[in-house]
Amino acid sequence: MDIVACIKRVPDTSETDDIKIDASGKDIEKSNLAFKLNDWDEYVLETAAQLKEKLGGSFTAISVGPKVWEEVLRRALAMGADKAIRVDEDVVSLDPGCVARILSKVIEGLRYDLILFGAQSEDFGSGQLGAMVAEMLGVPHATLVVSLETEGKVIHVCRELEAGALEAYSIELPALLTIQTGINRPRYISLGGIKRAMKAELKVISLDNLGLSLNGLTQELKLERLEFPHRGKEAVIISGLPRESAEKLAHILYSSGIF
């Protein structure tokens, strides 16, 4: 099976009191943060690695980002990827639509049965990339996949809905999946593994190579500003029988402008 996995490098924001908005107002201060592979993408890589171990074939990892992003591609190579491709472009300034266009162009030029994305990223969390790329490439897709079984040219997947409910699909390959956390247990990658991966093939291409240019990519979303949510200190305790308190709550939510 030929697998393509798209992965992302994100800041480690587990310590929330480290996060500050930067001078531009459109990004967070990153100089004091450590960086890592996007959490969802760990599960993507483990899924790809397991499929390759089981079925053979190829496994290619792709990222769109500046040189420092190579560290996540090296992790992919340490996990069993045969090759890695980096498109040299700083993706933070681009909206998901543009990134999708770039990735589709790269993937078009490759042989693939299965394309994997994480369900979302830890930083902007738009959750759109996988679905957009699937549309652009004209392949069927399923999002939030929590289980996956192969049967020849068909894959059987379950999607996570709410309250523990699952939705099952059978999809003919080639297809695209966005992977939800918990689908497997990502293996540990030792430093020794990463060092060995330094010798593996990592190709760098430019937008030019893809026949694209920054000007040619029209942004449909414009990031205005980033701000912290307002931290209020009010607590309202709603009392009464369930029917009454539900009505009160609905009224509060409606009139607060949330809907």
Partner 1 sequence: MTLADFKYSDVIHRCFRCGYCKFPINWMDVNNCPAYARFRIETYSCGGRLWLTRAWLSDEIDWTEHLAEILYSCTACKNCEVKCPLRFNADILNMIVAAKSEMVERGKIPAAVKEFLENIQRHGNPYGTSRAKRAEWIEGTGIEQYHGQDLLYYVGCVGSYDTRAQQSARVLGKVMQKAGVSFGVLGNDESCDGNEVSKLGEETLFEMLAEDNIAQFKELGVQRIVTLSPHSYNAMKNDYPTYGGEFDVSHYTQLLLRLVRDSKLDISRGFKAKVTYHDPCFLGRWNAEYEAPRAILHAIPGVELMEMERNRDGSLCCGGGGGNFYIDLLGGSESSPARRRVREADETGANILAVACPTCLTMLEDAVKAEELEDRLAVRDIAEITAEACGIE
Q: Determine if 190 is a binding residue for partner 1 (CB under 8 A).
A: yes
Question: In this complex, which beta carbon is closest to partner 1, that of residue 153 or of residue 195?
Answer: 195
Q: What is residue 185's DSSP assignment? A: -
Q: Please name which of 99, 88, 134 lies closest in space to residue 114, comparing C-alpha atoms.
A: 134
Q: How far is the CB of 72 from partner 1 (least distance, A)?
A: 12
Q: Determine if 36 is a binding residue for partner 1 (CB under 8 A).
A: yes
As given in the structure block, the two tokens for residue 75 are 């992790």
Question: In this complex, which beta carbon is closest to partner 1, that of residue 195 or of residue 248?
Answer: 195
CB proximity list for 83: less than 8 A, separation 6 or greater = 58, 60, 61, 77, 200, 201, 202, 203
Question: In this complex, which beta carbon is closest to partner 1, that of residue 188 or of residue 228?
Answer: 188
- Supply φ then ψ for residue 135, to 5 degrees: -60, -45
Question: In this complex, which beta carbon is closest to partner 1, that of residue 71 or of residue 247?
Answer: 71
Among 20, 22, 25, 32, binds partner 1 (CB under 8 A): 32
Q: How far is the CB of 45 from partner 1 (least distance, A)?
A: 11
Q: Please name which of 222, 217, 220, 223 lies closest in space to residue 101, comparing C-alpha atoms.
A: 217
The rounded Cα 170 to chain-centroid distance in angstroms is 22
Question: In this complex, which beta carbon is closest to partner 1, that of residue 32 or of residue 170?
Answer: 32
Question: In this complex, which beta carbon is closest to partner 1, that of residue 5 or of residue 94?
Answer: 5
The region of 29-37, 99-107, 151-159, 249-257 touching partner 1 under the rule CB under 8 A is 29-37
- The CA-CA-CA angle for residues 8, 202, 31, to 5°, reads 45
Q: Please name which of 46, 7, 33, 1 lies closest in space to residue 187, comparing C-alpha atoms.
A: 46
Q: Determine if 14 is a binding residue for partner 1 (CB under 8 A).
A: yes
Site for partner 1 in 60-89 (CB under 8 A): 79
Alpha-carbon distance of 238 to 226, in angstroms, equals: 33
The region of 60-68, 131-139, 190-198, 202-210 touching partner 1 under the rule CB under 8 A is 190-198
**Neighbour count for residue 198 (Cβ, 10 Å):** 11
Among 18, 39, 82, 88, binds partner 1 (CB under 8 A): 18
Among 164, 192, 229, 232, binds partner 1 (CB under 8 A): 192
Residues that bind partner 1 in the complex, under the rule CB under 8 A? 12, 14-15, 18, 32-34, 36, 79, 185, 187-193, 195
